[in-house]
């Protein structure tokens, strides 16, 4: 008997310097599928009206400086409804590349695996600003829309990534349904 795979996600961050070579690769890590993702899936399956829209963007936040100190980063709860950063940067859907996967191969037809590629190029986000004293990233989340309201569907807290103005960060997220 074949068993269904539990809904889960993973991500990988790769930092490149201004000329392109990789200067850091975090490897693949788990992320948290939050409760609103399940509500969004139920709305799609129910045939919800146009108030339910899939991924609308990637939010990137500074998180908390305290996460850099012992005891470290607290686990992300499945009840997480927003980033801890009250003023996150949003990379819109038009800047994301979404693809279905069969294994690790891009598929032209829908599968149970969705890959989201996000590229945060030089000066993205444009921090420091009035809400962010530095360009340190510690959290991200995918946002969708349910009943015309933005909802968090995927969330990660991670070790601090100091992104200088000339570097690029390539974030790959895979959701398995």
pLDDT digits (tens, 9 = 90+) for 111-132: 999 999 999 999 999 999 999 9
Q: What is the mean pLDDT of the chain?
A: 93
Say whether pLDDT at 49 is over 80: no
Say whether pLDDT at 2 is over 70: no
What average pLDDT score do residues 161-173 get? 96
Q: What is the DSSP track for the chain?
A: -PPPPPPEEEEEEEEE-TTS-EEEEEEEEEEEE-HHHHHHHHHHHHT--TT-EEEEEEEEE---GGGGSTT-PPPPPTT--S-SSSS-EEEEGGGEEEEEEETTEEESS--SEEEEEEEE-TT-S--SBTTBSS-EEEEEEEEEEETTEEEEEEEEEEEEEE--TT-EEEEEEEEE-
Share of the chain above pLDDT 70, in %: 95
What average pLDDT score do residues 136-141 get? 98
Q: What is the pLDDT of residue 170?
A: 98
Task: Please report which confidence band the pLDDT of residue 4 belongs to, taking 50, 70 and 90 as the band edges.
Answer: low
What average pLDDT score do residues 163-173 get? 96
Q: What is the pLDDT of residue 1?
A: 33
Sign of the dihedral defined by the CA atoms of residues 109, 152, 75, 168, in that order: positive
What average pLDDT score do residues 79-100 get? 97
What average pLDDT score do residues 157-165 get? 95
pLDDT digits (tens, 9 = 90+) for 17-30: 999 999 999 999 99
Q: What is the pLDDT of residue 23?
A: 95
Q: Report CA 174 to chain centroid distance, whole Å.
A: 9
What average pLDDT score do residues 77-87 get? 96
């Amino acid at each position: 008997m074949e068993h269904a795979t539990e809904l889960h996600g993973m991500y990988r961050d790769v930092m490149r310097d201004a000329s392109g070579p990789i200067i850091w690769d975090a490897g693949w890590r788990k992320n948290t599928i939050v409760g609103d993702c399940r509500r969004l899936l139920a709305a799609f399956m129910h045939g919800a009206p146009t108030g339910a829209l899939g991924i609308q963007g990637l939010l990137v936040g500074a998180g908390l400086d305290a996460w850099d100190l012992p005891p470290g980063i607290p686990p992300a709860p499945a009840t997480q409804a927003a980033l801890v950063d009250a003023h996150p940067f949003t990379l819109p859907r038009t800047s994301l590349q979404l693809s279905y996967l069969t294994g690790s191969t891009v598929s032209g037809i829908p599968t149970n695996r969705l890959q989201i590629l996000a590229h945060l190029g030089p000066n993205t986000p444009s921090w420091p600003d009035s809400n962010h004293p530095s360009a340190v990233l510690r959290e991200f989340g995918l946002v969708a829309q349910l009943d015309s309201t933005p909802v968090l569907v995927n969330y990660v807290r991670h070790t601090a990534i100091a992104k200088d103005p000339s570097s690029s960060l390539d974030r790959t997220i895979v959701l398995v349904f």
